Structure 1
Amino acid sequence: MNYNTYEMPPLSISHKSVLNTGFLLAMVGIVFALAPSLANTVENKGLGIAINMISLFITVIIYFITLKKYRDEELGGYMTFGRGFQFVFFASIIVAIVTSIFVFIQMKYIDPSMMDEAMNQQMAEMEKQGMTEEQMEMASQMTGIFKTPMAIAIISLLAQLFWGAILGLIFGAIMKKWPPPVQHSTQVYKDLNEETSI
């Protein structure tokens, strides 16, 4: 039996296309991370939601364009689901690291008052709900550990990785493309990364 084998070169987090995508998205993330300081989204929740939606839209567009370019120009137009997931998740790791470092710097040095404003807004909302001072104090103490710059940076890192995995699954499914069947032969689309996997 004859086999027509299509091989994809290995992919790593240091691949040029992955790095370019990751750093581009990180810059987008940093711009939108500055939004709470510039637009006072703590008090204007509607504006905050709109900014987050715009950020997500831009992120999706960038992933789509860069992954399609990678598939069509570097892989000959074909790509497995696993390779699409790898590309997006590797780029997300870069985004997560860069943006979480920036978030820490922002909370610690650029705009340290932002967390105080958020806490004050939270206390005001609890007061509107009729909570007593003791209940408000207890709630503040329970959530206080998650309001430090380091904690927020870690949460940001984990959130970026989580959404990177979700987007990787989505784009891997959408962008996968198998070679067309060849008459009188069986095609095998081989990912070189999978050769070394256990």
Structure 2
Amino acid sequence: MKPIAYTYGLYLGLLTVVGLVIQYVASLERNWAVSIISLALTIVIFYYGIKTYKTQNHNFLSIKEAIKVGLAMAVIGGVIAAAYAFVHYLYVQPEFVEGIREKAYQDMTAGTQNMSGEQLDTATTMMNIFTSPFFLATMILISQLFFGLIISLIMGAVMKKEDPSLA
């Protein structure tokens, strides 16, 4: 299982890195088409990783095994993606984080004129935490794990073939 997780996890991580670079270079942040393509490629990578495990396991696969393989791939890919995202948002594209903070601050101050100075400071501190490169990288890792679990569960249910000798 480890070689499959490392190989396909690397593909997942590289997909995220390449996606971030393409979005940055082509100025396509928050583009729905890029998100759809990325999701489709992610599903394909999970499919081939789980299919490879099934093939190497004499064409047998349980849902539990599919989840194990999928989550192992998601961990590897998520760590790679999170590490790059941290560097990307800290050094390559810090203006993205600043843009998010600026928009959030404008939204926060526009709708809450009754906010005291202390409340505004507290809200700004929280906003800075939730828009930090570290937090964004952590969210990428968590989302990789969540989607890895969901996709693996679905793939496992679809591709399931129990070994009759284990029954």
TM surpasses 0.5: yes
Structure 1 residue 172 and structure 2 residue 159: aligned? no
Structure 1 residue 143 and structure 2 residue 127: aligned? yes
Q: TM-score, normalised by structure 2?
A: 0.83
Q: Say whether the 8 Å CA contact 2:49–2:69 is kept in structure 1.
A: no
Task: Describe how 1:34-113 pairs up with structure 2 within 5 A.
Answer: 34-42=21-29, 45=30, 47=31, 49-72=32-55, 74-113=56-95
Corresponding residue of 1:24? 11
Q: Say whether the 8 Å CA contact 1:23–1:94 is kept in structure 2.
A: yes
Displacement of 1:132 in angstroms is 5.0
Aligned residues: 163
Could you report, residue by residue, the CA deviation over 1:52-79 in whole angstroms, capped at 9, with x for unpaired residues? 111110010121123213212x111111
Could you report, residue by residue, the CA deviation over 1:77-103 in whole angstroms, capped at 9, with x for unpaired residues? 111111111111100000111110001
Return the match for 2:20 from 33, 46, 69: 33
Runs (5+) with no aligned partner, structure 2: none
How far apart in 1 are the matches of 2:33 and 2:162? Answer: 37
How far apart in 2 are the matches of 1:112 and 1:147? Answer: 11
How far apart in 1 are the matches of 2:12 and 2:114? Answer: 43
Cα gap change, 1:90 to 1:143, in 2 (>3 Å):
same
Return the match for 1:131 from 80, 89, 111: 111
Could you report, residue by residue, the CA deviation over 1:136-177 in whole angstroms, capped at 9, with x for unpaired residues? x56544322111111221222222212222222112211111
How far apart in 2 are the matches of 1:86 and 1:178? Answer: 15
Q: Which has the higher helix share?
A: 2
Runs (5+) with no aligned partner, structure 1: 1-10, 180-186, 191-198
Q: TM-score, normalised by structure 1?
A: 0.71
Q: Report the aligned-residue RMSD.
A: 2.5
Corresponding residue of 1:188? 165
Query: Which of structures 1 and 2 has the larger relative contact order (alpha carbons within 8 angstroms, sep 6+)?
Result: 1
How far apart in 1 are the matches of 2:77 and 2:128? Answer: 26
Corresponding residue of 2:98? 116
Deviates more, 1:50-59 or 1:63-72: 63-72
Q: Percent of aligned positions with the same letter in both sequences?
A: 22
How far apart in 1 are the matches of 2:126 and 2:52? Answer: 47
Displacement of 1:130 in angstroms is 5.2
SS of the residue aligned with 1:93?
A: helix
Cα gap change, 1:134 to 1:142, in 2 (>3 Å):
farther
Greater Rg by CA:
1
Could you report, residue by residue, the CA deviation over 1:92-116 in whole angstroms, capped at 9, with x for unpaired residues? 0001111100011011111111111
Cα gap change, 1:40 to 1:133, in 2 (>3 Å):
farther
Cα gap change, 1:130 to 1:147, in 2 (>3 Å):
closer
The runs of at least 4 aligned residues of structure 1 exceeding 6 Å deviation read none
Q: Which has the higher strand share?
A: 1
Deviates more, 1:167-176 or 1:103-112: 167-176
